[in-house]
Amino acid sequence: MSGGTSLKADDLIRSLKDQFSQFSDRRDPLRIEIPMEDFLISGFAMYSLKFPSLLNFETEMKDKRNFSNMKGLFGVERIPSDTRMREVVDEVETEELRPCFKKIFARAQRSNILANEFSIWSGHYLLSVDGTGYYSSDSICCEQCLVKKVRDSETEELYHHQMLCGAIVKPGNKNVIPVCPEAIQKQDGRTKNDCERNAMKRFLLKFREDHPKLKTILLTDALHATLPNLDILEIMGMNYILSVKPGSHETLFKGIEKWETLNQIRTVVKEDEIGDKVKKKRIREYRFTNQILLANADVKRAVNFLDFVETIQWVGKHGVLKEKRVHYSWVTDLSIFDSNCEEFARAGRTRWKIENETFNTLKNQGYEFEHNFGHGYKNLSVNMAHLMMLAFLVDQLQALGCSSFRRAFVRAHETISRLWEYIKSLHTFFPVQLKNWEMLYGVIFEPDEWIKVENLKRE
């Protein structure tokens, strides 16, 4: 850690709680029994401690010890019932959660973690953005639900929620820094379903508002490599490396074919050997050109194109030659040369981190993204998804810049699910009140040492 700003859980959570205390509260002031920040921090705590459901969380919190730990770890004075929590969080305007992301992100900037661990190409940052679904039901719905017809049915409908999520990523870095997501949902006053492309527009505008000076290179799938999007990116001063596909970008690929016959496509081939037990040959072929049309609709809009094929060959059992191949194509506004085409392909491929390191982690590594934490009538489902993303952000920053977290992680054999188990079991069964996260991680890292010190204090 450097730069003087702490990325320790205790400080990050205090910062969040501060922000939560500034949320508007529409409840009758005379009937406020639990402050707003306790509702939000309790929701956050549920994800932070990886509880599988709101009810499970509430049941556990009825235990006196659990409750006193909540006070130490999250500064919660009173924990609301699950029913009350649903009611109150449902009424919170989702946009009020945005400054929380900004505030925590600013800490990552001030601590230098962002610059040291994520910057590429003289201070640029790769922002990978993609949509994901996290809820679907044929009966329970809210004002924000997207609706689709069930296949082969005239009357049945399916309600669902999707979210456009973005994270700062870097090749070779296992961690990511998520930014505020944008719900793909019915917009105010509209009856029509929202779509991922519209959500992307809102996402980019709000991202730029939150981070006006961040030198950003956007990474998306082929859905977003469109002329209107390139216009928006230009206005906002953002660079891009966007996936393209022959099926969705016909003009571009026809142009490439034509330029190929004219010898206008530059090809660079790199070969090396990989693998320990089984030696494998890796062939990487980069084909690129600068200033080609993305679509006929705008003859002024030229893009730079990079095509990348990686082939890995090895001799399998019984002497059979095996082969694995991946193929990607991108367009970018940055110029491509022999000297940087490899780096471009590496950066373009980092887009997958939003699926692998973000969605998969959220869905399969304790956060239970697809579980239903209560649906509500207005914003509950979307707000809970935001609180979950905040918990993920806080965890990621600790992994990047908190030495106590890292030591506890090593103790958990560098398996994140095991660390969550340790934390939850200590939270539930540890005989002494946990005063803060430092203490929690200390107990995980050196339990014997901790007991020795405590005994000395008592003597």
Name the residues that contact Zn ion, by CB under 5 A: 142, 145, 381
CA 111-361-210 angle, to 5 degrees, is: 45
Q: How near is the Cβ of 373 to Zn ion at its closest, in Å?
A: 12
Q: How far is the CB of 199 from Zn ion (least distance, A)?
A: 15
Start-to-end CA distance of the chain, whole Å, equals: 36
Residues making up the chain, counted from first to last:
459
* Backbone CA torsion sign across 352, 357, 358, 361: positive
> Any long-range contacts for 231-234 (C-beta under 8 Å, 24+ apart)?
232/201, 232/204, 232/205, 233/204, 233/333, 234/333
> Which residues contact residue 20 at a Cβ distance below 8 angstroms, ignoring those fewer than 6 apart?
36, 37, 40, 41, 100
Minimum gap (Å) between residue 230 Cβ and Zn ion? 32
CB of 42 to Zn ion, least distance (A): 21
The nearer residue to Zn ion, 45 or 141, going by C-beta atoms, is: 141
134 versus 308: smaller Cβ distance to Zn ion: 134
Nearest to Zn ion of 7, 183 (CB atom): 183
The residue (of 45 and 142) whose beta carbon lies closer to Zn ion is 142
Shortest reach from residue 381's CB to Zn ion, in Å: 5
Short-list 264, 269, 262, CA closest to 302: 264
3-state helix, strand, coil in the chain (%, to 5): 45, 20, 35
For residues 5 and 150, give the distance between their C-alpha atoms in angstroms, rounded to a whole number: 51
Q: CB of residue 159 vs Zn ion: minimum separation in angstroms? A: 6
Nearer to Zn ion, 183 or 241 (CB): 183
Residue with smaller CB distance to Zn ion, 139 or 455: 139
